[in-house]
Structure 1
Amino acid sequence: MAVFDSVAYPTSLSLGYGATGVNVEIERQYLKKRVQVGTCFSPLFLTEHWQLVVLSIEIYRHYGIKLQVVYLMSAIESIYKILKVYNQKDVVQIEPWFSIELDGPKRVENANLELDWRNQAAAHTDCLIKYGYAAEFLIVGDLDDILVPDHGTYYEEFVQNDFRRLKNSLAFLYTRFTVEIDSTRNPSKFLLFDALASAKVALYQPDDPKYVVNTSRAESEQAVHGLQLR
Structure 2
Amino acid sequence: MGSSSYGRISKKLILLLTISVCCGYVYYKCKDFGNEINEDPEHPKGDSAEIIDGTPAPPVSEYLLSEESERLTRKIPVSHVFVASAYYYPTSKSLGNNAVAFNMVVDSKNFDISKHTYNFVGSNGTHTESGFAISQIEEEEMCRYAPTVARGNTVENLKKLELESGGTKVEIPFKMARYTAPKPVIICISPQFVAEQWQIFLMHAHTAHRFGAHIHIYVISIVKAYFELMKEYERQGYLTIEKWMRMKFDKPGSQYFEPNLNTELRNQAGALTDCLLQYKEAAEYIAFFDLDDVLFPLNYPTYLEEFNAEYAQKPDATSLVYGRREHEFIKAETLAEYDFHELVASLKTSYTRAGKVVVKPDRHNTTWIHASHREDPTKRIHIKTPHLIHVQRPIQKNGNNEIKDMWKSRFWRFNETIHEVYIAAIHEDIQRMKKNKEVARIAKRLPSRDFYFPVVFKCYLKRFYGRKLTECPNAEKCVMPQRKDIKCMHTDAEYFSGPSSEPFTFHYFTNPFWSSDYGCYQ
- 1:25 corresponds to which residue? 174
Deviation readout 1:69-123 (Å, 9 max, x if unpaired): 0101011012101110011112110100010011334522x31021111101111
Deviation, 1:183, is: 1.5
Find the partner of 2:228 among 67, 81, 84.
81
Deviation, 1:36, is: 2.1
Alignment of 1:155 onto 2:304? yes
- 2:113 corresponds to which residue? none
Q: Aligned with 2:195: secondary structure?
A: coil
The unaligned stretches of length 5 or more in structure 1 are: none
**Normalized against structure 1, the TM-score is what?**
0.89
Q: Aligned with 1:118: secondary structure?
A: helix
Find the partner of 1:102 among 249, 259, 262.
249
- 2:328 corresponds to which residue? 180
**Normalized against structure 2, the TM-score is what?**
0.41
CA distance in 2, matches of 1:127, 1:54: 21
CA distance in 2, matches of 1:200, 1:117: 28
Q: 1:44 to 1:15 in 2, by over 3 A?
A: same
Q: Aligned with 1:99: secondary structure?
A: coil
Deviation, 1:175, is: 0.7
CA distance in 2, matches of 1:114, 1:199: 36
> Rg: which structure is higher?
2
CA distance in 1, matches of 2:176, 2:345: 41
- 2:340 corresponds to which residue? 192
- Structure 2 matches for 1:164-175, cutoff 5 A? 164-165=313-314, 167-175=315-323
CA distance in 2, matches of 1:40, 1:74: 17
Q: 1:4 to 1:155 in 2, by over 3 A?
A: closer
Aligned-pair Cα RMSD in Å: 2.0
CA distance in 1, matches of 2:310, 2:290: 23
- Structure 2 matches for 1:66-77, cutoff 5 A? 67-77=214-224
CA distance in 1, matches of 2:338, 2:179: 32
Note if contact 2:178-2:280 (Cα within 8 Å) is conserved in structure 1: no
The unaligned stretches of length 5 or more in structure 2 are: 1-135, 137-148, 385-522
Note if contact 2:220-2:244 (Cα within 8 Å) is conserved in structure 1: yes
- Structure 2 matches for 1:8-157, cutoff 5 A? 9=156, 11=158, 12-17=160-165, 18-28=167-177, 31=180, 33=181, 35-65=183-213, 67-103=214-250, 104=252, 105-108=254-257, 110-152=258-300, 153-157=302-306
Residue identity in the other structure for 1:123: A
Q: Aligned with 1:35: secondary structure?
A: coil
Alignment of 1:213 onto 2:367? no
Deviation readout 1:112-161 (Å, 9 max, x if unpaired): 02111110111111111112322100111111111221211211121111
Deviation, 1:190, is: 1.0
Note if contact 2:178-2:281 (Cα within 8 Å) is conserved in structure 1: no
Q: 1:56 to 1:15 in 2, by over 3 A?
A: same
CA distance in 2, matches of 1:76, 1:106: 35
Q: 1:56 to 1:30 in 2, by over 3 A?
A: farther
The percentage of aligned residue pairs carrying the same residue is: 26
Note if contact 2:217-2:239 (Cα within 8 Å) is conserved in structure 1: yes
CA distance in 1, matches of 2:209, 2:164: 42
